[in-house]
């Protein structure tokens, strides 16, 4: 049984095949529509955390490929509370052809994959966000024509998105630097694993603390919200800490030394905090292409796991 839990589970060849398939499916869609390769197939979308992009991109992805998606709201299923993760996985496996889950705890994703008899797709967990990173890699390759040798600098919290970007960079030869305040770095085990994965591709995986220095020579500057869902009690402390130089603004773009440096954000954006309006809406911004590409990259996941493309 194939699942989509972490980019670190893939080989470089497998990741490349996902990107190539996403490219084919996007081109096919732009030329008039996708073939209904998922006709008669269904996807359960299990949400603990709400999301505009994750819900709509997966639902429309299934629709574009001829399949059907069922949205299951946070109030309808209490993972591990109202019902055990194992029981939910077994029940849903009898109804649908795949399960996409967006959860707080990564252990719930692991549990669903352990007990489900259909493919499980990680739509986000507190550990990583592989569907987002796949789309990001697709977007960068589309914009720059390559991934090997690209230099991406992630500015902000060393969170789940940063984790998946490090894994993705390591597998594709893209250098990734995560620049963050002291105490907000990615988990050391994640950095070590990414560096081990990078041994073959030649990618450089780094952690830094000075944004102005770190972005020098960057091809892509990436950011995310400073306070994620579940961290609301830390909001004021985080705002004060990250406001000291970790905002993506015009000065930081200038520090990159590249007039056409690309800017990315997985959204939703807290404008005026981690990114300014001037940058988010600038010609450097890939935000809206990046958001659209969630759908096309995720179609590749659906086609591969459910349609066996």
- Asked about 132 being catalytic, the answer comes back as yes
- Asked about 82 being catalytic, the answer comes back as no
- Among residues 132, 193, 290, 298, the one annotated as catalytic is 132
The token pair that represents 282 in the structure block: 């600038």
- Asked about 129 being catalytic, the answer comes back as yes
- Among residues 102, 151, 258, 296, the one annotated as catalytic is 102
- Among residues 136, 238, 266, 290, the one annotated as catalytic is 266
- Among residues 55, 141, 238, 294, the one annotated as catalytic is 294
DSSP 193-225: HHHHHHHHH---EEEES-HHHHTTT-SEEEE--
Place of tokens 């029981």: 87
The token pair that represents 182 in the structure block: 């002291």
- Asked about 224 being catalytic, the answer comes back as yes
260 Cβ neighbours under 8 A, 6+ residues apart: 284
Distance CA 131, CA 220 (A): 19
Distance CA 91, CA 64 (A): 26
- Asked about 151 being catalytic, the answer comes back as no
Contact of 287 with 275, CB cutoff 8 Å: no
- Among residues 55, 224, 247, 298, the one annotated as catalytic is 224
Helix H or strand E encompassing 44:
strand 42-47
- Asked about 210 being catalytic, the answer comes back as no
Q: In 3D, which of 138, 145, 183 has the Cα closest to residue 165?
A: 138
The pair phi, psi for residue 188, each rounded to 5°, is -55, -35
With H, G, I as helix, E, B as strand and everything else as coil, classify residue 20: helix
Distance CA 184, CA 116 (A): 34
The pair phi, psi for residue 198, each rounded to 5°, is -75, -10
Residue 42, CB half-sphere, CA atoms under 13 Å: how many? 10
- Among residues 3, 53, 108, 129, the one annotated as catalytic is 129
CA–CA distance from 91 to each of 18, 96, 118, 150 (Å)?
A: 29, 9, 11, 44
| Active site positions, annotated | 102, 129, 132, 224, 266, 294
């Amino acid at each position: 049984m194939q699942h989509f839990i972490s980019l670190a589970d893939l080989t470089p060849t497998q990741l490349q095949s996902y990107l190539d398939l996403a490219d084919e499916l996007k081109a096919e869609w732009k030329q008039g529509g996708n073939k209904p390769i998922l006709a008669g197939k269904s996807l359960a979308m299990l949400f603990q955390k709400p999301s505009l992009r994750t819900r709509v991109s997966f639902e429309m992805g299934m629709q574009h490929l001829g399949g059907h998606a069922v949205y299951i709201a946070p109030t309808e299923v209490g993972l591990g509370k109202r019902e055990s993760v194992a029981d939910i996985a077994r029940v849903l496996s009898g109804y649908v052809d795949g399960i996409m889950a967006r959860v707080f705890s990564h252990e719930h994703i692991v549990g669903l994959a352990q007990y489900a008899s259909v493919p499980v797709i990680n739509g986000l967990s507190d550990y990583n966000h592989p569907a987002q990173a796949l789309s990001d890699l697709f977007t960068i390759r589309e914009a720059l024509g390559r991934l090997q040798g690209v230099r991406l600098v992630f500015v902000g919290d060393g969170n789940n998105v940063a984790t998946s970007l490090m894994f993705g960079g390591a597998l594709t030869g893209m250098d990734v630097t995560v620049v963050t305040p002291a105490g907000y770095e990615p988990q050391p085990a994640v950095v070590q694993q990414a560096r081990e994965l990078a041994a073959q591709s030649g990618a450089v995986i780094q952690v830094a603390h000075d944004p102005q220095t770190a972005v020098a020579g960057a091809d892509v500057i990436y950011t995310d919200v400073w306070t994620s869902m579940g961290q609301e009690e830390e909001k004021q402390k985080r705002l004060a800490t990250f406001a000291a130089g970790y905002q993506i603004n015009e000065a930081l773009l200038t520090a990159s030394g590249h007039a056409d440096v690309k800017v990315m954000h997985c959204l939703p954006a807290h404008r005026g905090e981690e990114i300014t309006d001037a940058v988010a809406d600038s010609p450097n911004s890939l935000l809206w292409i990046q958001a659209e590409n969630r759908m096309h990259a995720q179609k590749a996941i659906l086609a591969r796991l459910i349609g066996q493309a």
